[in-house]
Structure 1
Amino acid sequence: MAVTVVLALVAGCTPVAADDPASTPANDESRASLNAAAGVYVRLVDVLNRLYDKCMAGKGFTVHPRHEPVDPASFTAKEPPLDRPENLDDARKYGYRISAAPEVAPTEKVVEPDPFDAQPEEVRRQYAEGLTGPGNPNRGERTRPGDKERDVFVMPDGNKQFVYKQGCQPETDRAVLGDVKRFVELRYAATSGLDHAVHNAAAADPGASAARAAWISCMSGRGYPGVTDSVDAARKAESYYENVDQANADAVRQARDSEIEQAVAHAQCAEQTRVNEALQAAWNRELATYLATHEADLVAWQEFSEASLTRAQQMLAS
């Protein structure tokens, strides 16, 4: 069982390219803080996980779940919709890159068995209770039976962040972070809060909305009514492979042809309406606005992460 349990969730640090059009003197410090905090957060997660293991070893456990490393590059701000196929040539070659064609088939990652998973179920249950506390089926904030006690922090945009209250993980977090609520708030501002705010504002941009409406109309005219964005388009393309016998080469080829045909229409409509350019322009404007507006929080996020990493390293060495 591979786990990374930092404050009940692992949020991404949002690296921003230095040559992004959103770069202005007003938000360069915010940008620098985001990029610096991304690497610090990855190291902090690693040290916290080792501290959790150390705490659990003190409770008599000798086998711990595997902790997957955090990749900061994967924790970027959400891209605008309609981002695939990237262009007409890409559409003709690969469609939506979901077919079983050899040139686009994903490479299987060989994962070694986690020794923790071989532990008896009762041992794994006891470990979970020691790490994040016992289950509490009567807890009102969540209705799932067996859910655990958590503190609930409401973010400025109304989203909730949940933090375990009992066990090695929250005890270690409190010792390392001090003000856990402040840490959660700053991390949210630098990660999910940024993603949500920029995505929603860019999607509501009048120019982007008009371009998207034109793209939807174009797709409908090409025989794909009801497709409103790249997510809908990919789902429709996936449907061509439903109930297709992979051993039937003709059936697979027909499904792939349908995928390619739709992807070509998708790309041609995107070129005609310039929807991707409109979305990207809106995205960059809203990102610049967010970075400037939240400069204090983003700088504080970097400083808080660095101080927490120093304390965590000191605790691990003691």
Structure 2
Amino acid sequence: MVGLSGCGDDPASPDAEAAATRAQMAWDSAQQQYKEVEEIERRLVRRCLAEQGFQIFPEDAPPGDEPTERQRPVSPDLTDAARVGYGLDPRRLPKVEGAADNSAYAKTPDSYKSKLTTAKYGPESEKVSFNAPDGAKVAIPRAGCLGEVRSGLFGDLNEYIRLSFTASNLVRQGTSREIEGDAQVQAALDRWRTCVQEAGYPDIKGFADMKEKARQLYKNIDPSNGKALDAALATEIKIATAEATCTKSAGLDQAVAKAQAEGFVESLAKYEADMVAWNAMVREALKKGQEMLKA
């Protein structure tokens, strides 16, 4: 737990608690969308490299585990739900040229590997750096395919590295907290279940059931069957919108954020403005990335 500097064991003020809850909600929203932004970034970088003639790539690192229902039951944003549902439509992230193959990549000459690295990351002299409060220096590429793609997605790379570092390292959130044991979260979950059942989904028992119900819509659909995919997407949007509407009316996001923020009030409140800015940056990057994939 984060200690409250200069406050001893005194409880945090209501204003600080409210700021911490807002910061936690912004952090939750950004993290949920950032996973999709990272996948878009990967695909755009791969496309950039393929356009330069590179066809053999090492496998990308596997993504981190998805948050479990117990860790963070947060619904999609209502606007996004009405537009793309949960984002499960396989047409949203089209395949790009170039396949990852570690065995083939391992057989390429060192000169190929060196050229690929330079094309992806740019020269060592072209970096954007950030000096962390603890004295550590963090640097990311300004040039190369990665630098170019990130500039297109996030704009100001100096602000991007500052906000992303803050979100990843300076703000401590209680992900290990058993939030579903919190009385307010449990009450909100009960209201949420009642709401989704009244919305026409009586078989829903747990929070993850709605997204899984939408995921099953695409099972066994031929990728070339546009009509079937359109029908699945329309139903997915209906499901996601119902979930997001119920989450909002039940106050579930707020209850979860408040439970997670307990014990980290001072740290979260301190970085509230940065977390709100980070959430806005990620949301805009997601929109830009989806357009860049279509180009």
TM-score normalized with structure 2 length: 0.49
Asked which structure has the greater CA Rg, the reply is 1
RCO higher in 1 or 2 (8 Å CA, sep ≥ 6)?
Answer: 2
